[in-house]
Structure 1
């Protein structure tokens, strides 16, 4: 079985001049990519990096980040990708918590002790003694499949970011599941939209297409106004994004009619995508949306709507082969009657644990089951329907209210682009639901209209006591709506 660290060697041996990876500045063939990886590995080794070490990379989306990742794996080291938009204090927490031995960046203003990316990936600056391009393929016997590969930090929306430890076996298993689930092959070409400090961007948009024999293009910072020009230029067969990206693309002026004929499908993850938004995107751009579900602790994805169908908007699809996805009650009993409970996942993709947090790990992975913190149920066809996050549940006068149910109703209003519901403190009832709504461009809707719309479909206790119409939602670095900030807005308003 191919060890993931061997991938650059194997691709170069099979097709030296074939396309491999590119970004906004250059394109590398397979042999060129291998040479970059070898140079970077030699440079890292010259700076003392070896098996068991951690390399922190503070870079925007660019192909050098992928080169460094493979170079570190070649040495038996792990990588923790750091969001370059973090403050110095936030970045320092991740770098120190991960015990990174070196920090690679292109920002000279970062703290002393960092290593300029050019010193690692530029062939003219690489350390002497780099292996020649004709050198032997990496000996898989020297590479442990359980070696730590990635330390991905959670977004921190529920507290201090935690380091999710993923080993090479986790990553390899997840890539195989993605390749099989999406039907990827050597003709596939992904356009990376999501940030490379997020596991979805790494696994779905880079590693999986490369392992399938295809290619990847790393896009720079996402801008809705220029995105389709990048699609027309690169001619990818798919991209993976979050609902916010699709909402922005749907909101483009009507005269924007791009050539999307190269796209076989597009993928949505990280947060549930409203069925209405899926329909709007598919009707406008004539590209099917394949929605999935997963989390960093599960190395990315656990369910997927099958690309060949049937796809069921409003669900996040079927469990990926190789994983077991179930629903449990509060006592740990598996529910198989279609009722709602906590979504749990078991399989070779489940993380090794949270770095330095054994108690947190023990609470999250119990008897091999990863407890996701999401509430869901399976429909009659075995498709997973997400009800909401457990922590987002609103308790109004002793009654449990799931915000997603209210959000789903708001999304059915023709003027609504995005909706998010949070609980607001109430001196009598404990909590009451408050909705934040972003209208479609050019649409005019009042809070009163939206409240009346909810009354037509929801029980009285679920109707929002307040609807705040706004131009945009606060988001975390991955693009998910930041409900913690919405709650503070409600409290402070």
Structure 2
């Protein structure tokens, strides 16, 4: 379906049907269309036209969703901005994307014209009554990477990418008009946009946007809005799994939960599923692949410890350092092919050429395919530790550590060594009431790992740092080692 036509078609088919809600707003399809038209009128009055970019820096709200569709209605693209960024970081993204306007409610000095949500609401609904001529090759989103290896890069996704990805999600998850997603991940990230917003809206369903995730209110929200699915990161599943025993919510409306952004341990998945009766479907993907490339099946065999099989329409292959496909079961770099692969990095042809090789996305992840075609991630290529010539994959050490009751989160990174080049060090946080010690962790690792894989140091913290999308922030941990 043409994304620019979604609000109109929904309003025509079911004007009073649910569309988008947040903590303070509940838009039916008619109100959703009206808001999109008003926002489009305001944006057009500020000079936004086909081919432009609209920067949007808002918290998780329905207004962010309607702004997406308003920009697309005008033929413009959107670059969502993390509201937690510093002013200089915001200015960098606005300028790098050459945004015509910045939609925000924050007081900020911007290189682009600032438009508030109050301004958007003042637009006349008849002014944006007709969408521009649609092109599937038109730029739709510019999603900026987290910037852990340098300046953030703008991932260019066109309408063809979004339509292909949403079709795959709808097919794999069997989404229908009866589905309602609960969005708890940030809307400046492609997962929140594609899996929790566009896919349910395209399938005729609805979405509820939670302003922020809170373990104290999450299940109350579930019981009130009755979602059929939600998407979260392992950290959130860990927090929910460790809630007090007296928390016994009604989760009967939920068909499944999706887990992505980082690998989840087998123990975590089993703990959450057994406690709440909600199956977790683990998947894997990158912003450069419009969100997702593999997923464990909704029906059939789900293999904890894997991230599933390729989505319909995508191909996953494992290659060696020379780009030659490896034998089945062998470890190598993960390459992905499909209509969801990004157009490229904005204004970075050299970076694009390194990442898209002969039409395939070079992920930088190390993995292998098992005998049934399920992808098992071994680690990030850049995270691999070489200790005295031995390759060490931090994920293997982390998986062994997660076997210990009382472990909440684990991250293993490399520390420079004059003798060995690099050595593994481990950071962990504990679950409430856990009395594990450093010696306990080391004893467990020495029993279950080869000597050269055992971390030379274990540090227990109250919590591990995370980046804006909820992934464990290993670069910060590495910097802390360098500072020390």
In the superposition, the TM-score normalised over structure 1's length comes to: 0.96
Cα distance in 1 for partners of 2:125, 2:411 equals 55
Matches within 5 A, 1:256-295: 256-295=247-286
Given candidates 192, 200, 210, the residue that maps to 2:191 is 200
- 2:348 counterpart (351, 357, 361): 357
Cα drift, residue 336 of structure 1: 3.7
Matching of residues 268-417 of structure 1 within 5 Å: 268-417=259-408
State the SS of the aligned residue for 1:413.
Answer: coil
In 1: Cα distance, 2:126 partner to 2:192 partner: 32
- Once residues 96 and 467 of structure 2 are traced to their aligned partners in structure 1, the CA distance between those partners, rounded to angstroms, is 21
Secondary structure of 1:456's match? helix
Cα deviations across residues 22-60 of structure 1 (Å, max 9, x unaligned)? 101011111111111111111111111001000000100
Compute the displacement of 1:127 (Å). 4.8
Give the corresponding residue for 2:205.
214
Cα displacement (A) at 1:128: 8.0
SS state at 2:216 partner: helix
* Equivalent residue number for residue 97 of structure 1: 96
Q: What does the per-residue CA deviation read over 1:414-438, in whole Å, with 9 as the maximum and x for residues that have no partner? A: 1212111000111101111101111
Would you say the 8 A contact 2:168–2:313 is kept in 1?
Answer: yes
Match of 1:166 in 2: 157
Q: Indicate if the aligned counterparts of 2:87 and 2:108 stay in contact, CA closer than 8 A.
A: no
1:119 aligns with 2:116: no
Cα deviation, residue 109, structure 1: 3.9
2:34·2:125 contact (CA, 8 Å) conserved in 1? no
Alignment RMSD: 1.2
Equivalent-residue separation in structure 1 for 2:42 and 2:202 (angstroms): 25
Q: Give the drift of 1:409.
A: 0.3
1:353-383 Cα shifts (integer Å, max 9, x gaps):
0001000000000100100000000111110
Contact 1:200 1:300 in 2 (8 A): yes
CA distance in 1, matches of 2:254, 2:125: 43
Partner of 2:217, secondary structure, is helix
Question: Are the equivalent residues in 2 in contact too, given 1:277–1:417 (CA < 8 A)?
Answer: no
SS in 2 for 1:356: coil
Distance in 2 (alpha carbons) for counterparts of 1:130 and 1:185: 32
Contact 1:46 1:127 in 2 (8 A): no
Alpha-carbon distance between aligned partners in 1 of 2:444 and 2:374, rounded to the nearest angstrom: 28
1:250-261 counterparts in 2 under 5 A? 250-261=241-252
Instruction: Write out per-residue CA displacement over residues 383-420 of structure 1, whole angstroms, 9 at most, x where no aligned residue.
Output: 00000000000010111100000000000011212111
**What's 1:187 paired with?**
178
- Note closer, same or farther for the CA distance 1:6–1:129 as it changes in structure 2 (3 Å cut): closer
What is residue 2 of structure 2 aligned with on the other side?
Answer: 3
**Deviations 1:156-179, CA, capped at 9 Å, x for gaps:** 112211000000000010000000
Match of 1:40 in 2: 39
* Residue in structure 1 matched with residue 227 of structure 2 by the alignment: 236
Contact 1:185 1:213 in 2 (8 A): yes
Contact 1:274–1:411 (CA under 8 A) maintained in structure 2: yes
Classify 1:35/1:278 alpha carbon distance in 2 versus 1 (closer, same or farther; 3 Å).
Answer: same
> For residue 80 of structure 1, what is the aligned residue in structure 2?
79
Distance across 1 between alignment mates of 2:117 and 2:168: 32
* Separation in 2, partners of 1:68, 1:109: 19
Go from structure 1 to structure 2 and tell me whether the alpha carbon gap of 1:255 and 1:294 turns closer, same or farther (over 3 Å shift). Answer: same
Q: Corresponding residue for 2:70?
A: 71
Q: Which range is displaced more, 187-196 or 326-335?
A: 326-335
Residue from 442, 450, 464 that aligns with 1:473: 464
Tell me the distance in 2 between the aligned counterparts of 1:6 and 1:335: 44
Distance 1:352 1:128 in 2: 33
> 1:108·1:116 contact (CA, 8 Å) conserved in 2?
no
Normalising by structure 2, we get a TM-score of 0.98
- Distance in 2 between the 1:55 and 1:392 partners? 35
Q: CA deviation at 1:129?
A: 5.4
Distance 1:369 1:355 in 2: 18
Q: Which runs of 5+ in 1 are unaligned?
A: none
Alignment correspondent of 2:56: 57
Deviation at 1:237, TM superposition (A): 0.4
SS of corresponding position for 2:312: coil
Structure 1 partner of 2:20: 21
- C-alpha displacement of 1:491: 2.7
Contact 2:388 2:421 in 1 (8 A): yes
- Is the contact made by 2:281 and 2:298 (CA closer than 8 Å) also made in structure 1? yes
Does the CA contact (< 8 Å) of 2:427 and 2:459 recur in 1? yes
Distance 1:60 1:110, change over 3 A: farther
